[in-house]
Structure 1
Amino acid sequence: MNLKKYTYSPAWNLLLITLGSTLFSLGAKGIVVHHNFITGGIYGTSLLLYYKTEWLSPGIWYFLLNLPLFVVGWFYISRRFFLYSLYGVVALTLTSELITLDFGIQEQIYAAVAGGIICGAGSGIVLRSLGSGGGLDIVAVILNQKFNMGFGRLYLMFNAVLFSFVITYYNADIFIASVILVFITSVSLEHILSLFNQRKVIFIVSDKNEEISKVLIHDLNQGATFLKGRGVYSGRDKLLLMAITNNIQMKRVEEAVFNIDPNALFIVENSFTVIGSSFGGRKIY
């Protein structure tokens, strides 16, 4: 089974969603609720409703708030995404209901950092699947596909409204700790999403690019592309060499380039999205 078929297989996606939901619930039930913190998004809204009404539970509130979002998702996103996300909501609801523990972290700042790392990692694992954990993820996917609106912008706007309510109900300490929690969650989530996806885009400017390209292809098994360029000062035509690689291979490419031409110009840029060729296909929900 090739990598693409493996990542699109139901078993792999259900495993990611289950693992991510369980990890998120561990952070939420083991740390967040014991300090009355508010996470971002729909789950944060569920916590706020639970704290203020003491009705039901965060997991049940989360399930109920997702019902209207799933109606929207059914019409605007693929059935596969809908079913995976439905499983994600059920998994998160069940794990949130079944997990009862306390990590025993007393200091608010430590709890905010630890809770953010765990919840963010759980959310990131879920989003690496072809589904989601429900909530704002459904709306975010729709807006991203229809209007190319970034996920972060929607979360920022929603959380700004949510935390305007939080600051009226809670003291400054809990409010600030919750903001720290949300920030750490987003950082942890982004790190998980970029894990294994980060690439280095290398541009090489050298008079010996023909020789360098042969070493890259034959010795390092590294693909490359020639780009036509012209020196502004000299007016001479030049061939620029572009290669896409990872952190480990980049150092080998760097060494090979400067062994051939010590005067070469070696430019490296970070890229988190490289689609096509041997780098994998576009993620289709």
Structure 2
Amino acid sequence: MAKTKNKEINDEINKSKIESNSKNENKESNEIDNNKKFEVHYLENKNKNFFVRILIVLLGSAISALAMNLFAENAGLLPAGFTGLSKLIQRILHTYFNISVPFFPINMIFNIIPAILAFHFLGRNFVILSIISVMTSSLLMDVFPTFHITNDIFLSTVLGAAMHAFGYILIYNIDASGGGMDFITMIISNKRNVSILNYVMILNFIILAVSAFFFSLEAALYSVVFQFISTQVLNHGYLRYQRKTCFIVTDEIQPIADDLMRLTHHGITVTKGIGCYTNQEQYLLYMVVSRKDVRNIRRYLQKKSPKAFLNVTDSEQLSGNFYVDPID
């Protein structure tokens, strides 16, 4: 029975493809134009304007730098990664050796080798945008004045972490990074297909332990809270490694299935069934996609198949071959 049912579904899919192809076999040139329009309209994440991405990187870097000078600096807090390490070295030099060194050169030294590795393993545009991010945020942290907003260290921790993370959400979601440890962990993430944000924790704990020894244990502990809040906000706002399961109920397979596979670069499993309310044959299209694909799928269905029913759920755990867009 299962083989017969699968054969029926395959026959329906093939029949639908044949019908779709027969309707358009005399319109090949128009089909090419339509495909181009389709890709331009829906694959917006693939064709981002590089200049716009630079502007977003500059904005995100300015926000994160402002968060450091408004909240973190006065409270003695340290952010994650090489930024925190550079800040720690700057403070040690100033406090114990009376040597004032700008933040910019210290942070750039730590970013040289990771940037070279990133050029080798990651996309050129990604590395260029990330270097712009590092240079901008490092420079602005030296240029922006340090404001004293509040004496409440907890308030400074929460607001500073949220603001700092928001700046990096803007940067990450246009396929760039904050440089430094992000370069290294992004290389690992691409190989293993996991989120980059938890890899930096080991280095962070070492930095905070040194900070607690030389300065304040309280500030080091609040830095843990600062980094935890930043990580949670980033994990929520960073879309690249978030998975969603889509269930689409429709009365036709094609061209929906082919269009969605081309739109998302993910496969689809088709199940044939009966709608109990209408008592009519329906098809259930099952696919797992990245969170950023969901909006494009919804827009496509609203335009091409407005009667289709879409249900989206979280995919907590995933194993197997899942395509991740390469970093450009």
TM over 0.5: yes
**Pair 1:24-2:64 in alignment:** yes
What are the within-5 Å matches in structure 2 for residues 1-285 of structure 1? 2=41, 3-4=44-45, 6-7=47-48, 9-54=49-94, 55-102=100-147, 104-148=149-193, 150-194=195-239, 201-203=245-247, 213-214=250-251, 227-228=270-271, 242=286, 269-271=313-315, 282-285=325-328
- How far did 1:176 drift? 1.7
SS in structure 2 at match of 1:129 = coil
Q: Which is worse superposed, 147-156 or 10-19?
A: 147-156
SS in structure 2 at match of 1:92 = helix
User: For residues 92 and 53 of structure 1, do their structure 2 counterparts lie closer, same or farther at Cα, with a shift above 3 Å needed?
Assistant: same
CA deviation map 1:230-280 (0-9, x unaligned): 9xxxxxxx975537856xx7xxxxxx999xxxxxxx9862159xxxxxxx9
The one-letter amino acid of 2:251's match is K
User: For residues 24 and 183 of structure 1, do their structure 2 counterparts lie closer, same or farther at Cα, with a shift above 3 Å needed?
Assistant: same
Q: CA RMSD in A?
A: 3.9
- How far did 1:187 drift? 1.7
Q: Percent identity?
A: 19
Structure 1 gap segments, 5+ residues each: 205-211, 218-222, 231-237, 250-255, 259-265, 273-279
User: For residues 53 and 68 of structure 1, do their structure 2 counterparts lie closer, same or farther at Cα, with a shift above 3 Å needed?
Assistant: same
* Matched-pair contact (CA < 8 Å) for 1:16–1:128: no
Of structures 1 and 2, the larger Rg is shown by 2
User: For residues 40 and 191 of structure 1, do their structure 2 counterparts lie closer, same or farther at Cα, with a shift above 3 Å needed?
Assistant: same
* Matched-pair contact (CA < 8 Å) for 2:73–2:146: no
- How far did 1:67 drift? 1.7
User: For residues 115 and 239 of structure 1, do their structure 2 counterparts lie closer, same or farther at Cα, with a shift above 3 Å needed?
Assistant: same
User: For residues 257 and 139 of structure 1, do their structure 2 counterparts lie closer, same or farther at Cα, with a shift above 3 Å needed?
Assistant: closer
* Matched-pair contact (CA < 8 Å) for 1:4–1:281: no
User: For residues 199 and 41 of structure 1, do their structure 2 counterparts lie closer, same or farther at Cα, with a shift above 3 Å needed?
Assistant: closer
SS in structure 2 at match of 1:130 = coil
Structure 2 gap segments, 5+ residues each: 1-39, 95-99, 255-259, 262-267, 274-281, 299-306, 317-322
- How far did 1:129 drift? 2.2
* Matched-pair contact (CA < 8 Å) for 1:39–1:181: yes
CA deviation map 1:47-98 (0-9, x unaligned): 1111111231233321222122222223332332222222222211222122
The one-letter amino acid of 1:58's match is F
Aligned residue-pair number: 249
Q: Distance in 2 between matches of 1:160 and 1:172?
A: 13
Corresponding residue number in structure 1 for 2:301: none
Q: Distance in 2 between matches of 1:188 and 1:202?
A: 24
